[in-house]
Chain A
Amino acid sequence: MKITAIALNTFKEAIRDRILYLLLFFAVVSLIFSRLLAILAVGDRVKIIMDVGLASLSLFGALMAILMGTSLVFKEIDKKTIYTLLSKPIHRYQFLLGKFFGLILTLLVMLFLLSLIFIVIVLLHSGRIEWGMFAALAFIFLELCLITAVAMFFSCISSPILSSVFSLSFYLIGHLSWGLETLLNKIKPGFGKTIAQVFYTLIPDLENFNFKTEIVHHLSVPPQVFLYSTIYGIMYTLFVLTAAMLVFRKRDFA
């Protein structure tokens, strides 16, 4: 499959990017830091390690996704590698999808490495493996897929710097949308409220992928939440990728 070929090629390219390893380094540092923080805490140390660990993974993962996603399409255009590529018998959408899957494969590998270190640290500290962590990690990966799609979308329409800014904004808005919900409750019902509600439903709710608190505190999560959140993530990613494909279709590569 052509998409697979492009995906593997993208993977090879991305995995050799040095900036990725810089971020990996910082992520590992913060994981170790969590262990130090634990010493300062009173009470349940493992909780802090898990909390800080998952948060670091989520944050650095997001940074990796944004960095790679935004430079991706831009680099191809800037360096003109895209000229020969698109002159081959492939559809433009195959190019985009190939790039996307290559990127998430790279993220999977990075996340896997970090998760391994994370689990080892937790194991060393508490001597037990928390099964909930795997769920939290899986959802972090899902969130990263969505962020990658978003970064790629912006990369198709503007320069890497702007794309990074927009992608970062998406990430922030996604985590703060609950604020809008609180605000919504205080608006009087009416046309304005309906518009605001539609807007609220449209903007991404990345908190749907956030199970860190429940996992860390051993709270139960109703299974539908896992199911719906997964589908939500997949649908939103599909939405963004489709938008990217639409934009990419008729783009002139001057």
Chain B
Amino acid sequence: MKKKFLIILLILSCAAFMGLKIKLDNIPRKTVPGSSFIYIPSGKFLKYATFGYSSLMADIIYIWSIQYFSDQKIPNRFDYLDHVFSIIAELDPRYFDAYQIGAIFAVYDAGDFDTCEKILNRGLEKNPGEWIFPFQAGHYAQMLLKDYKIAQKYFKKTMEIEGAPAMAKRLYANAAFEQTDYKTAMRNWVEVYQMAEKEGDERVRKIAANHIYRTQASIDIESINEGLNKYKEQFGHYPEELIELAASGFLVEIPRDLDGNEYKYDPETGEVKSELWWKR
């Protein structure tokens, strides 16, 4: 065949297929994503199948999963969230990003704290020295769930890991406080205070001081309220002044706040308040 003829044929066929490709791309094709999930093998199997390229496979699945889980058009897309991220964990246990992103998808997008917890726990299990996992778990529990019991549990776990930030302890103490476990809270805040003083960390010392004040105030107010309630029970109304509680024997003494000031008392409502603790 003549060379010219072949070259023209080459260019024509190239133009043809390029044109068709553009046309084809513009026709939307229906997809049923997630349909192949039923038989995605477990991560262990996949690890052997990838011949040593398991961490690359983890990357690929990870990148894919981000696109997948971000696609709002896919119905029930979170059904296999844990499964996918467990595969990634199996393939590359040290893929920290993956655990965290998986947790975010679970707790923010899917509103599923249990899965989030699962994923982060897996991360910790495979990487016992990584405090970030329990830390995030506690953080989400506190921020989104407002469940301070769970939060406290995780902040405790965080604290136990070497290298964990000091903040963990403070969050732990705060979580205890929110659960009205003032004893634990106080003990921990005092420890924080002492540590801060020793290290000369003025900022943290001030924070600790404030929290100690607050905790103490809460403890005091709690006992004052106890007295007030007993008084009301007996007398049918709140006393005019707190001193009367002491006089009546409901309280041994009226505590003062740590600054030495009296607690503010409103005889109408029976409310006892302290200074705004963070404005000290």
- A–B in direct contact per CB < 8 Å: yes
A195 within 8 A of B: no
Grouping DSSP codes into helix (H, G, I), strand (E, B) and loop, the A interface class, with mixed when no group exceeds half, is helix
Q: Which residues of the other chain, B, contact A224 by a CB distance below 8 angstroms?
A: 27
Q: For the complex, is B276 an interface residue (Cβ under 8 Å from A)? A: no
Asked if A254 is an interface residue, CB under 8 A from chain B, the answer is no
**CB neighbors of A among B3-28 (8 A):** 3, 6-7, 9-10, 13-14, 16-18, 20-25, 27
Interface magnitude class on chain B: 20 to 34
Q: How far apart sit A236 and B22, CA to CA, in the bound complex (Å)?
A: 14
Min CB distance, A136 to chain B, in Å? 14
In the complex, A1 has a CB within 8 A of chain B: no
- For A231-247 the 0/1 string (1 means CB < 8 A from B) is 11001101100110110
Within 8 A of B (CB), among A32-54: 37, 40-43, 47-48, 51
B39 within 8 A of A: yes
With known contacts A235-B16, A245-B6, A246-B7, A220–B30 Cβ distance under 8 A: yes
- The residues of A that contact B67 with a CB separation of less than 8 Å are 182
Interface flag for B279 (CB, 8 Å):
no
Mark A170-188 against chain B: 1 for CB-CB distance below 8 A, else 0.
0000000000011000000
Chain A residues with CB under 8 Å of B39's CB are 37, 40-41, 48
The reply to whether A232 and B17 contact each other, CB–CB distance below 8 Å, is yes
Interface residue ranges, A against B (CB under 8 Å):
37, 40-43, 47-48, 51, 91, 93, 181-182, 201-202, 205, 208, 213-214, 216-217, 219-222, 224-225, 228-229, 231-232, 235-236, 238-239, 242-243, 245-246, 249
Are B30 and A239 closer than 8 Å at their CB atoms? no
* A214 and B6 contact, CB distance less than 8 A: no
A-B contact pairs, 25 of them (CB 8 A): A43-B38, A51-B36, A91-B1, A93-B1, A201-B18, A202-B18, A213-B31, A214-B29, A216-B35, A217-B32, A217-B35, A219-B30, A219-B32, A221-B29, A222-B27, A228-B20, A232-B20, A232-B24, A239-B10, A239-B13, A239-B14, A239-B17, A243-B10, A245-B1, A249-B3
Query: Is the Cβ of B6 less than 8 Å from the Cβ of A246?
Result: yes
Q: Which residues of B contact A (CB under 8 A)?
A: 1, 3, 6-7, 9-10, 13-14, 16-18, 20-25, 27, 29-32, 35-36, 38-39, 67
What are the 4 tightest A-B residue pairs by CB atom distance, in nearest-first order? A235-B17, A239-B13, A235-B16, A232-B20
Known: A214-B30, A245-B6. A235 touches B13 (CB 8 A): yes
CB distance from B54 to the nearest CB of A (A): 19
In contact, A246 and B10 (Cβ under 8 angstroms): yes
A214 to B21, CA, bound (A): 19
Cross-interface CB contact of A41 among B10, B16, B30, B38, cutoff 8 Å? B38
Give Cα A243–Cα B35 distance, bound, in whole angstroms: 40
Using Cβ atoms and an 8 Å threshold, which residues of chain B touch A42? 38
* 10 further A-B pairs in the complex, CB-CB below 8 A; given A214-B29, A242-B13: A42-B38, A181-B25, A182-B67, A232-B20, A232-B24, A238-B13, A239-B14, A245-B1, A246-B7, A249-B1
